[in-house]
Chains A and B, each alone.
Chain A
Amino acid sequence: GQNIDQPTEMTATEGAIVQINCTYQTSGFNGLFWYQQHAGEAPTFLSYNVLDGLEEKGRFSSFLSRSKGYSYLLLKELQMKDSASYLCAVRGNTNAGKSTFGDGTTLTVKP
């Protein structure tokens, strides 16, 4: 089976940097996704890691260590609109179509 752990809530200040961690234990691994979800809206794709290392995309970066079962999402130059839930999802290789999601980290950005 799959188990995804991420902090429930985080708070940060506008303009700062925040790191949201995700650890996973899975029966297989075929990629890790980060999604952003504003309240009442659909999750939107942020990043995808399948190999170890850092993927950078504008203000957002995502890191993966497969040996440690660990990923983080790094948000720089925080803006008020970044207040949302951030979902970590792992695609196992037992069925490549299925992704298991964590419960999300609710980030609140304060002025």
Chain B
Amino acid sequence: GAGVSQSPRYKVAKRGQDVALRCDPISGHVSLFWYQQALGQGPEFLTYFQNEAQLDKSGLPSDRFFAERPEGSVSTLKIQRTQQEDSAVYLCASSSNLNTEAFFGQGTRLTVV
């Protein structure tokens, strides 16, 4: 596609439910990033992939968060046993290499009730 695509755009989950957020990066982009953005704040880094390798997951807030990119293209961010504090916009970004800008998707707005 022309840009980074994320689905779903909106997700309402009951507390304790598992969710999976999908990111389709720009074709051919090697680097893929996940960020979490709370209202009124800047994006907070979660994790980073180079191709299928997860090189940095230092930003994942707990072991309930898991990300994968098995074939070096589409990535999924999974959150288990969601809690209210997980409510945020989850942004995915991709770049062709580490020295260029990242292109962001529209994000998935997760609301945990």
Contact = CB atoms under 8 A, between A and B. Distances in A.
B88 to A, nearest CB: 14
Chain B facing A: main interface SS: loop
Interface in A61-76: none
Interface string B50-78: 10000110110000000000000000000
Interface residues of A, number: 22
Contacts of A44: 104
A97 B40 contact: no
Contact of A103 (B33, B40, B100): B40
Contact of A98 (B56, B91, B106): B56
Interface in B6-62: 31, 33, 35, 40-45, 48, 50, 55-56, 58-59
Contacts of B42: 4, 87, 89, 101-104
Interface of B: 4, 31, 33, 35, 40-45, 48, 50, 55-56, 58-59, 91, 98-107
